[in-house]
Structure 1
Amino acid sequence: MDEEAITIKLTRDQAFVLSDWLYQVMLQSDDLEGIVHDRAVWSPIYAISGTLDKTLSEIFMPDYGPRLEAAKERLHADLYERADEPTTPGQNTSDAPQAHQIERRTAGNHGESD
C-alpha cells in the first residue's frame, strides 16, 4: 500500500469555506452514513476537516459569519471572473470552474484504458 502523503494547496478563503461546508455536512449526520455511503471516504473527510480546523484561526473568531460570507463572495467573484475570461487556442482551460470540463473517467469506463 502506497502511504505517500498528498499535499493539497488551497487559498485561505477556499480552506475557510470548505471547512464550514464540511462542518455543516458532518453535522447533518452523526457519522456521515446518511450523506456519504462509502465508509472508505470518511477517513479522508475527517483528515481534511481536522487539518482545516487546526489551521484556521477564523473558525474561532467572534465575527465568523461575516468573515465566511466575505470569503464566499470573493470565491464567487473569482469563479465568475475566470469563467468569463476568453481563451486563446492552445490555452489550458482545465482549471476553469465549469462542471462539464471535469472528467473523472469513472462512469462507464471501469478499468478500460484509452
Structure 2
Amino acid sequence: MGDGHVTIKLTSDEALVLSRWLEKLQMTDLGRVVDDPAVWAPVHRIAGTLDKELPELFAPDYDQRLEAARRRLRPED
C-alpha cells in the first residue's frame, strides 16, 4: 500500500456478481442507501473498473452467466 493504492483480487464469478449488485445500487437513490457521500466516489470507481474488465457484461448469454456465477458462490446448504 506504499504507493497509495489498494489492490483487490476477485474471481471472475465474484466480479460478475459484484458488478451486477453495484449496478443495481447505482440505480437507486444513493443518498438513501449510502449515508456518506464520500463513499460514492469509490463505489463509482469500482463499478467502472468492473465494467471495463468484464467482457461477460456484453455477452448475449449474460443472464445465464450471472446466474451460474451466483450458484457457484452461494454457500451449500
**Alpha-carbon distance in structure 2 between the residues aligned to 1:40 and 1:50:** 17
**Alpha-carbon distance in structure 1 between the residues aligned to 2:53 and 2:59:** 13
**Alpha-carbon distance in structure 2 between the residues aligned to 1:73 and 1:65:** 12
1:88 corresponds in structure 2 to none
Is 2:49 the counterpart of 1:51?
yes
2:14 corresponds in structure 1 to 14
The one-letter amino acid paired with 2:59 is M
Is 2:76 the counterpart of 1:80?
yes
Q: Which runs of 5+ in 1 are unaligned?
A: 82-114
**Alpha-carbon distance in structure 2 between the residues aligned to 1:19 and 1:43:** 15
Among the aligned pairs, what percent are the same residue? 50
The one-letter amino acid paired with 2:8 is I
After the TM superposition, which residues 1-114 of structure 1 pair with which residues of structure 2 at under 5 Å, given as runs? Answer: 4-29=4-29, 32-76=30-74, 79-80=75-76
Name the one with the larger helix percent. 2
Taking a change above 3 Å as real, the CA distance of residues 46 and 11 of structure 1, as seen in their structure-2 partners, is same
Q: Quick one: higher RCO (CA 8 Å, sep 6+), 1 or 2? A: 2
**Alpha-carbon distance in structure 2 between the residues aligned to 1:47 and 1:80:** 32
Taking a change above 3 Å as real, the CA distance of residues 13 and 7 of structure 1, as seen in their structure-2 partners, is same
Tell me how many residue pairs correspond in the alignment.
Answer: 76
Q: Aligned to 2:33, what secondary structure does the other structure show?
A: coil
Shift of 1:80: 3.4
Larger radius of gyration: 1
